[in-house]
Structure formats: structure tokens, C-alpha cells
Amino acid sequence: MEKELSDMRNLVEGVKVFPRVTKCKMLDLKTDVVVAEGRWLSSDLNALVHYIPLSSNTIRVCMDLAMPYMSTIEKSDGSTIAWLANRVVMFLAN
């Protein structure tokens, strides 16, 4: 019983609680036009996106909504994707 409690404490101590979700807007790779909205998930280089680790200049985001004029990425709505970090504008959700 004591070992189980210790294991549970270790598990709980490892969990980070974020009071607010960080939302973001993804910009076109060449212009400052917003092409999608989503949520920041990670910039950890050990994080995987579809079994592939992030590179040093990308972040992992959940794409919630592609803009209607972006038919090439609209099927990614709800998916986890990698996006260039310098092409993401982050803000805190209310």
C-alpha cells in the first residue's frame, strides 16, 4: 500500500497544471496572413507529431480551425501538427 501511494505521489508531482490554455494563430509561411487558429501544445524537441520529433524551429499545435481560403490544410482541423515557431502568434485564452 505504501509503495502504491509513493507511485501515485510521483505521478502527480510530474503533472504540470496550466491554468489557461495558450491559443495561437498560425501565419502563412511567406506573409503575415493568418491561415489557421489552434492551441499551443509543446516546443519540447522530444515531442512527437505523428511519430516524428519536432525540429529546433517548430512547435506542436492542435489546429482547431483553418481559414476558409486555406483548402490545402482545412482537412487538418482537429489534428496535431508541427508549425514553424516564428510563424505562430500566441495569446492566452480568456
Q: What does the pLDDT read at residue 79?
A: 80
The pTM assigned to this predicted structure is 0.69
Q: What does the pLDDT read at residue 87?
A: 92
Tens-digit pLDDT profile for residues 2-30: 555 444 444 444 444 444 558 999 999 89
Show the domains of the chain with their CATH numbers.
Answer: 19-92 (2.30.30)
Tens-digit pLDDT profile for residues 26-70: 999 899 999 999 999 988 889 899 899 998 899 999 988 888 777
Question: Residue 67, by phi and psi: left (phi above 0), alpha (psi -120 to 50) or beta?
Answer: beta
- Name residues whose C-beta falls within 8 Å of residue 93's C-beta, 6 or more positions apart in sequence: 20, 21, 22, 23
Q: What does the pLDDT read at residue 27?
A: 93
Stretch 63-80: mean pLDDT: 77
